[in-house]
Amino acid sequence: MIWWAVLGAGIGCYLLKLVGLSVPARVLGNPLVARIADLIPVALLAALVTVQVLAAPEGRALTLDGRVLALGVAVLLLLARAPFLVVVFGSAVAAALVRLL
């Protein structure tokens, strides 16, 4: 099943790129469609942050644990304009340290 998701979504994402390069701009020129498409990445990424950090590992509940602190470290690193890799691995180190304590 994982292979199907990997290849199906992978090929689908390629086709989404190809469609953009291939269809006349007016086909997707509807202003509402354009506004939705602008907002979708922000909505999905914000939801992904929330679920990754707050969803309990056993499901269907919210929980506060080391992941919240790790996200706080990520916020501080982003405010300090740290590069992407520093943000990600800095946050991982924070979570690992909290769990050691």
Partner 1 sequence: MSGEEVRRAVVRDSLGVAIATGTYGLSFGAVGVASGLDVAQTCALSLVMFTGASQFALVGVLGSGGTPLAGALTALLLGTRNTLYGLRMAPLLGYRGWRRLAAAQVLIDESTAMSVTRPDRSLARTGFLTTGLTIFALWNLTTLVGAVAGEQLGDPKDLGLDAAVGAAFLALLWPRLSTPVLRVTAVLAALVAAGAVTVTPAGVPVLVAAGVAVLVAALAPRPARQPEDAP
Query: Site size for partner 1, by CB under 8 A?
Result: 76
Interface characters, 64-83, with partner 1 (x: CB under 8 A):
--xx--xx-xxx--x----x
Segment 33-52, which members bind partner 1 (CB under 8 A)? 34-52
CB of 72 to partner 1, least distance (A): 10
> Which value, in Å, is the radius of gyration of the alpha carbons in the chain?
19
Q: Out of 60, 64, 80, 101, name the contact with partner 1 by CB under 8 A.
A: 60
Amino acid at 34: A
* SS3 call for 87: helix
DSSP state letters, 14-43? HHHHHHHHHS-GGGG--HHHHHHHHHHHHH
93 touches partner 1 by CB under 8 A: yes
